[in-house]
Amino acid sequence: MRPDPHTPSQTRQVTLPSGRTIEIVYLDEPPMPEPFVAEDPGASVLDERAARLAEVAHDLTLCGACGCAFVQPVDWDEAGPRHWRLELRCPNCEQRGTVVVEDEVVDHYDLELERGAAILARALHETVEQNVEDEVARFAAALDSGLVLPEDF
Ligand SMILES: [Zn+2]
């Protein structure tokens, strides 16, 4: 008889910086197909696992102390053949923490970091644009009220 695909061979509990405790399940063998499913029978198991890994990766970006959504890794090292030890830092409140996660979580975490970097880049662009608009408006107002004269240049 083949082993039950839903029975994990090994589990481990990890506490994330957000304070949430997750259970990491190691599957030594690829998930087996669900019975009586016609197409791509392993897809739902894999989708569920990918969704869980993405959720864990997203949690790594959240600060448990202040709620900031931009917690970043300041260092990471391999911790065994399938795990990484991440040292995380909150840029808002300087909270720090260390977590050990599996390779697949780190793959999703890379995507989370890229998403966060894109959000920050967009916010910077909008801030610079708003500052330029404000500066032009102040200069125009100063010109209109005669506060800026040709001899000022
Ligand atoms: Zn924080």
Closest CA to 88 of 65, 55, 54, 107: 65
pLDDT at 44: 82
pLDDT of residue 8: 46
The parts of the chain modelled with pLDDT lower than 50 are 1-8, 27, 29-35
Task: Please give the distance, rounded to the nearest whole angstrom, from the Cα atom of residue 151 to the centre of ligand 1.
Answer: 50
Contacts of 43 (CB under 8 A, 6+ apart): none
Alpha-carbon span 28 to 104, nearest angstrom: 14
CA of 74 to the centre of ligand 1 (A): 14
Q: What is the pTM of this model?
A: 0.58
- Interatomic CA distance for residues 79 and 132, integer angstroms: 47
pLDDT value at residue 73? 95
Q: Where are the domains of the chain?
A: 10-32+40-146
Region class of 27: left (phi > 0), else alpha (psi between -120 and 50), else beta: beta
Q: What is the pLDDT of residue 108?
A: 93
**Dist. CA 70–CA 114, nearest whole Å:** 11
How far away, in angstroms, is 9 Cα from ligand 1 center? 35
How many CB atoms neighbour CB 91 within 10 A?
13
Whether the Cβ atoms of residue 113 and residue 86 lie closer than 8 Å to each other: no
Give the distance (Å) from ligand 1 centre to CA of residue 5.
Answer: 39
